[in-house]
Amino acid sequence: MPLLSPGQTGVSNQRGFPIDDTGASQFSVSISSETIQFFFASGTTRTTDAGQLTGVLVSAALAYGGIKNSDGSMMATNVDTSLTFTSTALTTEIDFPWERMEAADSSSWAARLVTAGTYLTTNGQYFVDYKQGIIYGRKASSQATATAGAYRIQQNVSGGTPSASSVVSTQAAASSAAGTTTADTTAGGVVIVAANSKRMLLQLQNNGVVTVYFGEGTVTSSFPQLLPSGTAAFLSKGACKVLAASSTAAIAFIDYTYA
């Protein structure tokens, strides 16, 4: 019987014992707009994909491991995942063959890719090691990257004293173009949380009646959306800005101020 069933048969240098600290609070963090670079094996060398042909085996490492499911509550699977991306090369996710891939952990990167290929029998298929944040796939096009990568992870809350505040920010759309005009994007949106190196912004809630877009820098309608009465996890050590689609945005935020 597997020691850590289901999904891991043992503990190794490559895969430590999975432990959740039930005494520590965690919050869900949304990662977005990540470009996912593919790599292929040139001989045994891990090489950046520059447009390799259909049928070539590739892998890609996400910026973070520990990818969560759709509601951010537990480790993702192929049938319940928060991971999305745009790709014509990798189009069909299959189940992660954890037992065989775990057995290949101590092998070279190229050998692991070959092992993955025995399960990727159709062009466009891919599977994801959600714990490690690694994608393995067999290409269905020459596309070298996946774009618009988005997923959820969890981070521990530590240090400081939580506090909650509310602010009403007005950002009028300059036209009917839902806040995407030059007048709005040049301004970069309305700052609702000032930059503070000792502040961790954890969550936003839209108490208004219009959709807003939020983030840092020059906020546009391509940023994450926050619907009316919606709540979004957001991690920031700097300022947060809001761009309203029209009229007034009423934003409540929860921050965590370090001593």
Tracing tokens 């092992």 back to the chain, one arrives at 115
CB neighbour class for 205 (10 Å; exposed up to 12, middle 13-18, buried from 19) = middle
Which of the listed residues 110, 129, 156 is the one where a domain comes to its end? 156
pTM greater than 0.85 (yes/no): no
Domain end residue (candidates: 141, 156, 171): 156
pLDDT mean across residues, the chain: 74
Q: Is residue 27 very low, low, confident or very high in pLDDT (cuts 50, 70, 90)?
A: low
- Count of domains for the chain: 2
Bond from prior residue into 18 cis (ω within 30 degrees of 0): no
Q: Are residues 218 and 237 in the same domain?
A: yes
Structural domain span for residue 168 = 161-257
Of 176 and 159, the structure prediction assigns the larger pLDDT to 159
| Pair 116, 48 in one domain | yes
- For residues 32 and 134, membership in a common domain is answered with yes
Give the least confident one: 50-59, 94-103, 176-185, 219-228.
Answer: 176-185
- pLDDT of 126: 98
Residues 137 and 241 in one domain: no
Name the domain boundary from 156, 189, 210. 156
Instruction: Give the pLDDT score at 255.
Output: 59
The model's confidence at residue 79, banded by pLDDT at 50, 70 and 90, is very high
Say if residues 205 and 230 touch (Cβ distance below 8 Å).
yes
- Contacts of residue 29, Cβ cutoff 8 Å, sequence gap at least 6: 152, 153, 154, 155, 233, 234, 235
Residue 151 lies in a domain: yes
